[in-house]
Copies of this chain bind each other. A is one copy, B any other.
């Protein structure tokens, strides 16, 4: 691909991204689920790299990893930057990992170029954001911001029935766990000392590519509601049960999923509705399915519109279940309100883009991000770079080296403004 020659920091960042992608379960793309061996390997690797770059490293009770460059002013609140280390199943190499690799590269560059900052600069690798293994998302940033606390997730298990807290313990984390590198108990995850959080991320959508712009300055992150839906019928013989006498859980779920798609299309953008995971029991060719579980993921940038659609579609589900004589259990697994980004930081980012002569636009994020958990508690900002064809959560996820380097430059300038310049 053509484009300006990349500078040393960008090349380091790209190399680090490649190294992180190697920590993956077998299969297409990158699969790095919370509290798995691949996940532990990636966090340990990052911690060694942070230490090698003279950052003070530490992990908290839930497995978030920090690399800190101490500032001169002990009173000043911390400038935090980074993203999440986990991925979806068969995801890409950029989602989350890019924000961590760029943050580490930027902080190292600033340290080597300008020495100690006024405010402490910290790089974070959040343990979990996707909700791909357990029906709970933002596990990392949620603990840092106090959305989750001790005991959260006690009722959640993965698809194999492994409990979240048991998986955490099996990786050596959890309340009172000891950090092997320091030999002392890990810190509680909650932080009260964060002044600002800046996250660099791929767009995971097609807006920047279509508008031909280099940088997206996020004005707000769409709200999100997630549910687990359980449909119960009667398992029975596929050959001897007349159609009229069936209580087929899959047929009921199929009607719900079609309704979901039709009502979401009717509601119009920016509403999106997805059933991404579906399990059938007993899942045998010659047995009428007795039970189906599926997940719901509903998003909109306006809270009222999201709530209205959600209430309407769940009512439709109940009507379908009632008409078919099926049992229906709907469990909320995630509620995230739309999250506005800090207006001061947004104009700072726009000034940086102008001074770097980069094309940029203000935009809404349809995807959820760790930054949304910080926005109610401290100043939060997000920077997007283009995703090829808008493809993400797929092995085909791709952003060019030049696009990734542009994001790194904007992030670096932003961290310089916040940690070295700002009074």
Contact = CB atoms under 8 A, between A and B. Distances in A.
A277 B288 contact: no
Interface string A326-344: 0000000100000000000
Interface in A276-314: 276-290, 295, 297, 299
B366 A89 contact: no
A226 interface: yes
Interface in A152-181: 159
Given A89-B283, A244-B265, A239 B278 contact: no
A238 B284 contact: no
A42 to B, nearest CB: 19
Interface stretch (A65-73, A112-120, A185-193, A390-398): A390-398
A24 interface: no
Interface of A is mostly: loop
Contacts of A38: none
A367 B273 contact: no
Interface stretch (A53-61, A98-106, A202-210, A402-410): A202-210
A400 interface: no
A275 interface: yes
A237 interface: yes
A9 interface: no
Contacts of A257: 250-251, 254
Contacts of A8: none
Nearest to A333: B285
A142 interface: no
Nearest to A394: B235
Which of A250, A297, A333 is the most central at the interface, judged by chain B CB atoms within 10 Å of its CB? A250
Contacts of A89: 282-284, 287
A268 B139 CA distance: 51
A281 to B, nearest CB: 8
A377 to B, nearest CB: 22
A290 B159 CA distance: 19
A392 B240 contact: yes
A52 interface: no
A272 B288 CA distance: 11
B258 A243 contact: no
A130 interface: yes
A43 interface: no
A264 interface: yes
A222 B204 contact: no
Contacts of A273: 243
Which of A130, A224, A282, A365 is the most central at the interface, judged by chain B CB atoms within 10 Å of its CB? A282
B261 A248 contact: yes
Given A251-B257, A261-B251, A394-B235, A204 B280 contact: no
A195 to B, nearest CB: 28
A269 interface: yes
Interface string A15-55: 00000000000000000000000000000000000000000
Contacts of A243: 261, 264-265, 269, 271-273
10 closest Cβ pairs, A-B complex = A205-B240, A238-B274, A239-B367, A254-B257, A285-B295, A254-B254, A239-B366, A240-B366, A89-B282, A237-B392
27 contacts: A88-B287, A90-B235, A130-B284, A135-B285, A224-B239, A236-B392, A237-B366, A237-B367, A239-B297, A239-B367, A240-B365, A240-B390, A241-B390, A243-B265, A250-B257, A250-B276, A254-B258, A255-B258, A274-B286, A274-B287, A276-B280, A276-B287, A277-B280, A278-B278, A279-B283, A286-B393, A287-B393
